[in-house]
């Protein structure tokens, strides 16, 4: 198939989408501020800083997609005057605003923690009275990897929370959910409406950034069909095409939705080696109008992010069953530089591999001894 897909963004997600597109004879172009981005080796990068950049980008491809949910809606509106984009604008606009997102979850009967809109110090005080403490105060728009959030545990912190986040004006206060773990469900919907889902991932974070994911999520057989039902409701309601991710909390009362991401997702990187067809290939297939591939798990998998500093490549590749993916990014504290996929044959080998990996990663690897696959 001779087709070109234009991608808003040129980071590692765009890079991996383009890598999946090449075997299908599909080319990608990228709209990115920096022409020296992770995706630069995979296709033409058109600068979003250029005066005619958007016009050139629109002319560069047949159909379009994106790698981050903060893609400007104004750019999407200009694009859709002449070309198609997947996922649809409504999904993007909803994911960019946590209040709209929670309202959509409510509409589709997808459980969420109690929440209130906040736009003043008075409304924050009212939300504290109504929801109780602790609460998580978040900016309604923007914010990622733990940014744009404040955990409010006492009334003494109200003024501080408002001082830190109040300038954003549009905030959301959410009741603090007591959860045992966080999981995510990733699914893909084709142009013909077919839906396929991958196994649940159990996600672990370090300083607000995803540290590692375990797939299939341990002890989650009863959660899988519930999560599939929730994400299928979203996909069909939005008339979605492409990959969608839904992050969920596991609570005593069942699954609570946290947020959705209208794109391929960090917790799905395991699928490159661990699934018959990866999230990246299936997203490309969907956007290009091709049949979807199998999402079956090849082997239980652990995906570990490389954050801040690079390990020695030879040390990682010396580990049995380890697959290394580097993103061509410079070292910086808190920055995702790559990921490692481990595909152990059993629990014993997993623990051995994790101990070995912990010794060679520059950043601490917070894996517990009782983790299971």
Per-residue pLDDT at 177: 87
Residue 274 in tokens: 């661990």
Return d(Cα 163, Cα 279) in angstroms, integer.
40
Q: Are strands 3-8 and 63-66 parallel, antiparallel or unpaired?
A: parallel
CA 351 to chain centre: 26
The count of other CB atoms within 10 Å of the CB of residue 178 is: 11
The contacts of residue 179 (CB under 8 Å, 6+ apart) are: 249, 250, 251, 256
3-state secondary structure of 231: helix
Return d(Cα 42, Cα 109) in angstroms, integer.
41
pLDDT band at 358, cuts 50/70/90?
confident
Kindly tell me if the per-residue pLDDT of 357 is higher than 80. Answer: yes
Listed by start position, the domains of the chain span: 3-85, 114-175, 181-360
pTM of the full structure: 0.94
Lowest-confidence pick of 19-28, 141-150, 221-230, 233-242: 141-150
Instruction: Round the average pLDDT of the chain to a whole number and report it.
Output: 93
CA 277 to chain centre: 18
Per-residue pLDDT at 286: 98
Question: What number is the average pLDDT over the span 17-25?
Answer: 98
CA 150 to chain centre: 21
3-85 topology per CATH:
Rossmann fold (3.40.50)
Closest-CA residue to 196 (of 291, 111, 101, 303): 291
Kindly tell me if the per-residue pLDDT of 51 is higher than 70. Answer: yes
Per the CB < 8 A criterion, the answer to whether 350 and 342 are in contact is yes
pLDDT band at 347, cuts 50/70/90?
confident
Kindly tell me if the per-residue pLDDT of 372 is higher than 70. Answer: no
Per-residue pLDDT at 363: 72
Return d(Cα 169, Cα 338) in angstroms, integer.
35
- Could you list the residues known to form a binding site for ATP, using ranges: 98, 138, 143-149, 174-177, 182, 205, 258-259
- Residue 333, H or E segment: none
Residue 260 in tokens: 């959705």
181-360 topology per CATH:
D-amino Acid Aminotransferase; Chain A, domain 1 (3.30.470)
Kindly tell me if the per-residue pLDDT of 346 is higher than 90. Answer: no
Residue 318 in tokens: 């010396």
- Could you list the residues known to form a binding site, using ranges: 98, 138, 143-149, 174-177, 182, 205, 258-259
3-state secondary structure of 274: helix
Own/partner contacts of 347-350, CB < 8 Å, gap of 24 or more, are: 347/372, 347/373, 349/320, 349/321, 350/302
Per-residue pLDDT at 206: 83
Question: What number is the average pLDDT over the span 250-271?
Answer: 97
Lowest-confidence pick of 15-24, 140-149, 211-220, 285-294: 140-149
3-state secondary structure of 65: strand
pLDDT band at 348, cuts 50/70/90?
confident
Is it true that domain 114-175 has CATH number 3.30.390.50?
Answer: no
The count of other CB atoms within 10 Å of the CB of residue 191 is: 17
Residue 201 in tokens: 């991932």
Q: Are strands 135-139 and 242-251 parallel, antiparallel or unpaired?
A: unpaired
The count of other CB atoms within 10 Å of the CB of residue 329 is: 17
Residue 349 in tokens: 């080998």
Kindly tell me if the per-residue pLDDT of 367 is higher than 60. Answer: no
pLDDT band at 345, cuts 50/70/90?
confident
Query: In this predicted model, which residue has the larger pLDDT, 147 or 145?
Result: 147
Return d(Cα 262, Cα 272) in angstroms, integer.
19
Percentage of the chain modeled with pLDDT above 70: 96
pLDDT band at 366, cuts 50/70/90?
low
Per-residue pLDDT at 340: 97
Angle at 72 between CA 71 and CA 78, to 5 degrees: 115
Per the CB < 8 A criterion, the answer to whether 302 and 373 are in contact is yes
Residue-wise pLDDT tens digits, 224-257: 999 999 999 999 999 999 999 999 999 999 999 9
Residue 9 in tokens: 């963004």
The count of other CB atoms within 10 Å of the CB of residue 52 is: 10
- What separation in angstroms does the CA of 2 have from each of 35, 37, 184? 24, 25, 34
Q: Point out which residues pair with 297 in neighbouring strands.
A: 275
Residue-wise pLDDT tens digits, 77-97: 999 999 999 999 999 999 999
pLDDT band at 179, cuts 50/70/90?
very high
């Amino acid at each position: 198939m001779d087709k070109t897909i234009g991608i808003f963004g040129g980071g590692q997600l765009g890079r991996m989408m383009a890598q999946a597109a090449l075997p299908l004879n599909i080319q990608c172009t990228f709209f990115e501020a920096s022409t020296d981005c992770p995706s630069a080796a995979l296709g033409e990068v058109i600068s979003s800083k250029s005066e005619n950049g958007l016009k050139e980008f629109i002319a560069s491809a047949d159909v379009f997609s994106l790698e981050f949910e903060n893609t400007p809606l104004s750019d999407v509106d200009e694009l859709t005057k002449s070309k198609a984009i997947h996922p649809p604008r409504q999904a993007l606009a909803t994911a960019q605003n946590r209040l709209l997102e929670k309202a959509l979850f409510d509409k589709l009967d997808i459980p969420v923690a109690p929440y209130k809109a906040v736009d003043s110090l008075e409304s924050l005080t009212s939300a504290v009275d109504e929801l109780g403490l602790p609460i998580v105060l978040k900016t309604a728009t923007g914010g990622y990897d733990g940014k744009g959030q404040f955990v409010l545990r006492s009334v003494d912190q109200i003024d501080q929370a408002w001082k830190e986040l109040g300038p954003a004006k549009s905030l959301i206060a959410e009741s603090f959910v007591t959860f045992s773990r966080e999981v995510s469900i990733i699914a893909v919907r084709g142009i013909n409406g077919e839906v396929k889902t991958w196994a649940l991932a159990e996600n672990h974070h370090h300083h607000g950034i995803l540290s590692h994911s375990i797939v299939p999520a341990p002890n989650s057989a009863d959660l899988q069909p519930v999560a599939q039902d929730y994400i299928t409701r979203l996909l069909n309601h939005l008339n979605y095409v492409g990959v969608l991710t839904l992050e969920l909390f596991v609570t005593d009362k069942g699954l609570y939705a946290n947020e959705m991401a209208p794109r391929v997702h960090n917790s799905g990187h395991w699928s490159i080696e661990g699934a018959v067809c990866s999230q990246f290939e299936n997203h490309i297939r969907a956007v290009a109008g091709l049949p979807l591939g199998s999402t079956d798990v090849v082997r239980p998998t652990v995906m570990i992010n490389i954050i801040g500093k690079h390990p020695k490549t030879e040390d990682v590749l010396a580990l049995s069953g380890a697959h290394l993916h580097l993103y061509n990014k410079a070292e910086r504290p808190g920055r995702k530089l790559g990921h490692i996929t481990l595909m152990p044959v059993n629990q014993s080998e997993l623990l051995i591999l994790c101990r070995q990996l912990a010794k060679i990663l520059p950043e601490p690897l917070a894996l517990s001894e009782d983790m299971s696959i």
